[in-house]
Structure 1
């Protein structure tokens, strides 16, 4: 396991509540020109490439063998001091535009007593446009728009993977001096955040100390555009010209991030992934094959036409593979909306409860 040092400085900053006006700026145009090979959805959605309207108020120093950098995050409690009584930590990863930063806290308002013993942590993975817009220090970590969700290295100030930021958060939570009563960590994400959570679950380096301390780990993967497949099978046969169907971020065949480390052992990845507690949280109305943020690359189309169908197909393959600790929860009538997903009966149960919805109409057992 790689050694990661994490220190926290909860520095208050002014949060801008105004949206960036004036359409796509010259900066955004330059970003588009400078970042090749983005997925179709990122090229079509200006929000992915333009600066965020607000920044998270916390700072996390991440130090690895490659160097150091500062990541942004929001923490609902002061974790610079001992937090007795906190039994659950919920880490929520935002979507591609980096703007849905309060969906975990909104879900907590629906969780009742369970939220009273929980801490919610929401990191924010910036791009260069954000750093430039807010004149952030050079030490601020920033990634390519299509890189942070799949574990690639920051473009500055050091080659630090977005997954190493999560490793550092988990390292802090594993400290029994700070969290003496912690029992469970939930890593949840919606859309690109769901893709982040699912990919991290497959190749993570951050669980070991938590597990050693008897802390359970659950992943909640909500409505991602595509999934990391662990073999060559796909629900839809890819076209003969589709050469990316088994490349990372869709498979384990090639283009693997530095974080994963070589040589990759696909069988070991499969065995570890199948043993994890993972909930696939799918909105039944996330079924638009032309959604402006849907990955419509040939590799993604080989997984199905919509997010909902891609999720159903992936869960079926997990069942067939013997992944006994993984389950599907469906949220009827909800589309591509993180707050509605996580604040639903099933979403609240996945984040703050036992991960089952009982006999409520929002549960589909597969």
Structure 2
């Protein structure tokens, strides 16, 4: 479940409590470390009320910094602080700490021979920062003893990815980047290839910036909590995201909200799917073989299904056959934005359909009514008053 955002006072209390701790690696066999009183690399994150993490409020200078030259023995982090990593390893980076941990990747290659490349077992919050000008890559093993650890980068607690460098993630077992609590992507150039899902935040996935390319055999980006009410949220408010997926490109078990950024879905089965879908900004293009934008029930949300479009630019190109560009198993409301659809069936809704604003073009012609293609007739079309 999404944790309440920490207040500045709470964060300062946390860092003061841990500022006296020394930052060390698990043993002298796993890495060469040099500790300095502060870090020279500042966090590049910024906070907004609804979509950013608390990482931008953390004063990392109050915590120790450890420089680590990786070896094939990997590294275990048990103390709070900043860890600047360089070099290569066939081992794992493991975080098991009660405090705040920042991992700065500065020219790192991790090709794990056993399990995830980066694994966070415990931390208050972990920040992975891509150092300016750096090129980094991580890959996991195709097999492992604990199959619950199903990401090349895996965090059991809150995870933030930021920075101005680049990161390539190759997921050979299942998913690329996995956050079992809340996952934020705030900056960086990130490319993920995976044999299953690309990027998954269980309680929530929030993208506020960065350039992200996902090539996934399963779902592209998703939030997968289908047991805790209010979780299962996927939010895009910034960044540039390109997705090639073998299944759904953008998926949430409870709600998808798009308020900004650029999303380019190159190929998918379902383009965007969730019980509740809100599009109020941004530029989104969808290529799909089944439904382009689909409000469908999940294990936890079975009523109140809806699609609401109030702003942004939305382009949908559908494959041939029994496909719908915009398909709501509940209500459909369009009050703004620009929508360009190429499809045999533009709209399909089981509940009410209302059109009060925006510009809609279907197969090259502007339309002013929602023509419902639902089998059996549906509730009739809605148009501007």
More strand by share: 2
TM-score in terms of structure 1 length? 0.30
TM-score in terms of structure 2 length? 0.29
Higher RCO (Cα < 8 Å, 6 or more apart): 1
